[in-house]
Amino acid sequence: MKKLLLAVLLAAAVLCACNKPEDTASSSAKPVESSQSALDETQSSAAEESSKKEESSKKEESSKKESSKKEESKKQESSKKESSKKESSKPESKASKPESSAESKQEESSEPEVSEETSVQPEPESSVQEEESSEPESSVQPEPESVKPAPESSKPRETSKAQESSKPKEKTEPAQTGTRVGASWFDDAVFVGDSVTLKLSYYAEDYGALGKADFLCAGSLGYTNGLWDLNAPDNVHPWYNGVKYTIPEGLKRIGAKKIFIMLGMNDIGLYGVDGAVESMKTMTSRITQACPDAVLYVESVTPMLEDMQMRDLNNRTIARFDEKIKAVCAQRGYRYMNVASAVDDGRGNLVYSYCSDPTAMGLHFSDAGCEQWAEYLKRHVNDAQ
């Protein structure tokens, strides 16, 4: 439109110039030339102005675009800020909910706990446990593990697969003919022995399995070195209340009414079966002289693990010794207690789970073995002969 207006103006100017009166011949020629030059100048200026206007319009359009972009980005940022404010205000709105909704949530969360409490200890399990605890004690002795069991209980025991595979079949204990006694029956008893009986003393103290019984025990004690003088070098006489005694003197000092003696393990390998038996005869004679009113119970020596036997001390020599001292008891009127029968595997070997040192000596008892030992005494003290 602007170009057309400029062209019209130029045409009008040319027409005006042509209509002027011709004064002279020279003046008539000048308007033609001047009008032509003026037309050229106006056309060039018009072109320049139009190009300038086009450039300015382009710049205006680009600046408008940039400003619109900036406005859009500002709007986006402001919208983001508003959305973030809304999100941050959400917890507050949740927290401002009435207390009744919170209480309802607590009630919902407490419902699973009630269901869990009601599902603890179902009735079938408790009835099974009551049946197990009420079962009478059978004559077949279980093979307990070497963890301390409570005495006179039917506590289940576990053994490793290696032990179960190497464990021989159990032997049925000799039938009980007398009346089983309780732990208090041993309150006036004294147990004499070596390190094997020393372990029984720990078990009895921990569980009260033998009432208030006293113990005269020492490691490496035997029938032979027990006969040594109190001042003999290398003597291993037992201690009682901080004082060392020979076995007969200690029993007399305590005032024993029932005497249980298990020695011989430390004699068989050193002095042979016959030498050990002779020392047993001498020791028991001294005991009965010191305590004439006491009842003497002579306990058999217990077996070893099958794979821990030695040339002179093994389950064959132990069994021979036990048979010989049993005969002595029958001759003299002592009561013989076959404790070995309660802890062997039916082939004359110590049950693996009853042993506390299977990789050392293979003859000391675990708590499980001590439990069987104490239980045997309670069942058979009244029928011992």
What average pLDDT does range 15-25 have in this prediction?
Answer: 49
CA 74 to the chain's CA centroid: 62
> Would you say 197 and 339 are in contact if contact means Cβ atoms under 8 Å apart?
no
Lowest mean pLDDT among 48-57, 169-178, 332-341, 351-360: 169-178
Confidence class of residue 159 from pLDDT cuts 50, 70 and 90? very low
Share of the chain above pLDDT 90, in %: 53
CA angle 361, 325, 377 (to 5 degrees): 70
With a pLDDT cut of 70, the percent of the chain lying above it is 54
Average pLDDT over residues 112-122: 39
For residue 384, what pLDDT is reported?
A: 75
| CA atoms within 13 A of residue 28's CA, in its CB half-sphere | 5
Measured distance CA(351)–CA(343) in Å, rounded:
6
Mean residue pLDDT of the chain comes to 75
Predicted local confidence at residue 36, as pLDDT: 55
Selected residue with higher pLDDT from 31 and 287: 287
The domain limits of the chain are 182-380
- Best-predicted range by mean pLDDT (1-10, 90-99, 210-219): 210-219
- 238 vs 53, which has greater pLDDT? 238
pLDDT: is 349 or 21 the higher one? Answer: 349
In angstroms, the Cα distances linking 372 to 202, 305, 320, 341 are 15, 16, 23, 10
Residue 144 reports pLDDT greater than 70:
no
pLDDT for the residue 168: 41
| pLDDT for the residue numbered 7 | 65
Segment 328-336 shows an average pLDDT of 98
- Report which of residues 9 and 285 the model is more confident about: 285
- Give the chain as a 3 state SS string: CHHHHHHHHHHHHHHHHHHCCCCCHHHHHHHHHHHHHHHHHHHHHHHHHHHHHHHHHHHHHHHHHHHHHHHHHHHHHHHHHHHHHHHHHHHHHHHCCCHHHHHHHHHHHHHHHHHHHHCCCCHHHHHHHHHHHHCCCCCCCCCCCCCCCCCCCCCCCCCCHHHHHHCCCCCCCCCCCCCCCCHHHHCCEEEEECHHHHHHHHHHHHHCCCCCCEEEECCCCCCCHHHCCCCCCCCCCCEECCEECCHHHHHHHHCCCEEEEECCHHHHHHHHHHHHHHHHHHHHHHHHHHCCCCEEEEECCCCCCHHHCCCCCCHHHHHHHHHHHHHHHHHHCCEEECCHHHHECCCCCECHHHECCCCCCCCCECHHHHHHHHHHHHHHCCCCC
pLDDT tens for 181-229 read 999 999 999 999 999 999 999 999 999 999 999 999 999 999 999 999 9
Report, as an integer, the average pLDDT of 120-134. 39
Structure tokens at 215: 């113990």
CATH code reported for the domain at 182-380: 3.40.50.1110
Q: Is the pLDDT of residue 89 over 70?
A: no
Q: 10: which 2 tokens? A: 């130029």
Flag whether pLDDT at 46 surpasses 70. Answer: no
Using CA atoms, how far apart are residues 182 and 130, in angstroms rounded to an integer? 22
Residue 290 pLDDT more than 80? yes
pLDDT for the residue numbered 299: 98
Indicate whether 28 pLDDT > 50: no
Residues 166-188 pLDDT 10s: 444 444 444 555 689 999 999 99
Cα distances (Å, whole numbers) of residue 352 to 311, 342, 357? 20, 13, 10
Predicted confidence at residue 41, as pLDDT, reads: 59
Query: Which pLDDT score is estimated for 40?
Result: 59
Structure tokens belonging to residue 168: 């021989």
pTM comes to 0.57
pLDDT above 60 (res 91): no
Buried b (16+ CB within 10 A) or exposed e, 195-208: bbbbbbbebbeebe
Q: Can you give the pLDDT at residue 13?
A: 64
| First-to-final CA distance of the chain | 145
